[in-house]
Amino acid sequence: MVILVFIITLLLYGGLVYYIGWRGLHWLRPKSSTRRFKILYSLVIVLAATSFIVGRMTGLTFINIIGAYWMACFYLLLLLVPLAHVTVILLRLTRLPRHGTQKWAGFITLGLLIFFMAWGSYNAFSPVVRDYDIQIDKGSSTLDELHIVMAADMHFGLLSGKDHAERFVKETNALNPDIILLPGDLFDDDVQPFLDQEIDKILSKLQAPFGVYASLGNHDRHDGTMKELIESLEQGGITVLYDETVDVEGQFTLIGRKDRIDDERLPLDALINDVDQTKPKILIDHQPYDLDIAQREGIDLMVSGHTHRGQIFPGSLLTDMIYENDWGHLQKEQMHSIVTSGFGFWGPPIRLGTRAEVVSIWVEFK
């Protein structure tokens, strides 16, 4: 069954690539195009279309980069090419001049592709600060306020690399947080590029009086042991809460969960069974599921990522249907859920309809 699905998917993908490639050749080819030009054009399309898979299989940096950008191009062309094609067909049904229509369709499609790629790259690498103000019952805590800076989904690796990590540290430290929370997907499926670029040393420059804490996400994976992966983060001064709780200087409790895909993840009630219930409870959970359970178990603030807010429109329409809170702030009785669209990206270094962000949360204890 799996093989059948794979074959069908491959055939569908191949058919779509052929359609995009054929329309592009038809619209943009020179008047004096030769057989050599057509062969070269076809070769470029095939290499681009297979680059993501080949890059993942071989681990070659250059091929991986091409594959990531191809993913964005393919997605955008799936939207733009049929639209241009339909427009050309409709123009044939009118009395409007049709001279050069197909050429113009090709150039406009190419121009829009370049524009969206450039705009999307800007959105991905130019983070904004998103501010939220919330109130929490202070219980036995003596704190009056707490400034949390939260970021997720950095996907540090080949494309979200050293420069983006330095940008993250600079943006975060400039906010002067009391505590920094990182709810998952700090890696991009492989810890090695993170270590090769010494991103752990960059993250060690993060500064917060109450410390830096993280949970793990579905892309925080490693060929070795989970202990090695966690140690690579803790070398950078980040405390990983792997289905663990910590009392932060007697003021509030932090709860960090294993990711939802982990079969050994503890139920929330079992995880917090022994914590002081009179103190505020802050939950770090990568995927924003089961908000009702968190609210029922007395969680005051739940911070999450994972959704990327769809990353590329209209992906946000899909995430909005899947998650009760796919981005932003949602309050359920005493519990506040805050979900970030993420600081990095998965796959193509492109964001359309969303923006890379760092979240600043001002908590007032009442």
In the prediction, which pLDDT does 98 show? 62
SS3 at position 287: coil
Domain hosting 194: range is 129-365
What are 24-67's pLDDT values in tens digits?
A: 888 877 766 678 888 888 999 999 999 988 887 777 888 988 99
Please give the DSSP secondary-structure letter assigned to residue 266: P
Taking each helix axis from N to C end, the angle separating 61-92 and 2-28, rounded to the nearest 10 degrees, works out to 60
Contact partners, residue 173, CB within 8 Å, separation at least 6: 205, 206, 207
Contact partners, residue 39, CB within 8 Å, separation at least 6: none
- CA–CA separation, 151 vs 153, rounded Å? 7
What are 159-205's pLDDT values in tens digits?
A: 899 999 999 999 999 999 999 999 999 998 888 888 899 999 999 99
Residue 274: CATH number of its domain: 3.60.21.10
With 0-12 / 13-18 / 19 or more C-beta atoms within 10 angstroms meaning exposed / middle / buried, residue 7 is exposed
Consecutive H or E run containing 212: strand 212-215
Cα atoms in the 13 Å half-sphere on the side-chain side of 315: 20
| Domain end among 104, 124, 144 | 124
Domain count of the fold of the chain: 2
Consecutive H or E run containing 179: strand 179-183
What are 76-97's pLDDT values in tens digits?
A: 999 999 998 888 888 777 766 6
Shared-domain flag, residues 120 and 192: no
In the prediction, which pLDDT does 162 show? 94
SS3 at position 87: helix
Residue 158 has pLDDT above 90, yes or no: no
In the prediction, which pLDDT does 33 show? 66
- Residue pair 356/154 in contact by the 8 Å Cβ criterion: no
What are 288-341's pLDDT values in tens digits?
A: 999 999 999 999 999 999 999 999 999 999 999 999 999 999 999 999 999 999
Shared-domain flag, residues 75 and 144: no
Q: What is the share, in percent, of the chain residues with pLDDT greater than 70?
A: 97
Contact partners, residue 182, CB within 8 Å, separation at least 6: 150, 151, 152, 154, 212, 213, 214, 215, 238, 284
Count of H-run helices and E-run strands, the chain: 11, 12
Shared-domain flag, residues 68 and 146: no
Shared-domain flag, residues 116 and 62: yes
- How far from 240 is each of 64, 103, 151, 233, 251, CA to CA, in Å? 29, 55, 14, 7, 19
Shared-domain flag, residues 184 and 269: yes
* Top-confidence residue, 153 or 41: 153
Shared-domain flag, residues 253 and 146: yes
Shared-domain flag, residues 140 and 289: yes
Buried b (16+ CB within 10 A) or exposed e, 338-352: bbbbbbbbbbbbbbb
Consecutive H or E run containing 255: strand 252-256
> Strands 145-150, 357-365: parallel, antiparallel or unpaired by DSSP?
antiparallel
| Domain end among 74, 89, 124 | 124
Shared-domain flag, residues 322 and 181: yes
Shared-domain flag, residues 183 and 307: yes
- Residue pair 44/36 in contact by the 8 Å Cβ criterion: no
Contact partners, residue 175, CB within 8 Å, separation at least 6: 129, 147, 149, 358, 360
- Residue pair 139/280 in contact by the 8 Å Cβ criterion: yes
In the prediction, which pLDDT does 228 show? 81
- How far from 211 is each of 147, 149, 181, 182, 237, CA to CA, in Å? 12, 11, 9, 11, 8
What are 324-339's pLDDT values in tens digits?
A: 999 999 999 999 999 9
Buried b (16+ CB within 10 A) or exposed e, 43-56: eebeebbbbbeebe
In the prediction, which pLDDT does 29 show? 74
Q: What is the share, in percent, of the chain residues with pLDDT greater than 90?
A: 71
Shared-domain flag, residues 51 and 136: no
- Single pTM value for the model: 0.91
In the prediction, which pLDDT does 97 show? 65
**Which residue is associated with the tokens 């410390």?**
211
3-state secondary structure 72-83: HHHHHHHHHHHH
> Strands 301-304, 244-248: parallel, antiparallel or unpaired by DSSP?
unpaired
| Domain end among 124, 143, 158 | 124
Shared-domain flag, residues 51 and 159: no
Shared-domain flag, residues 181 and 117: no
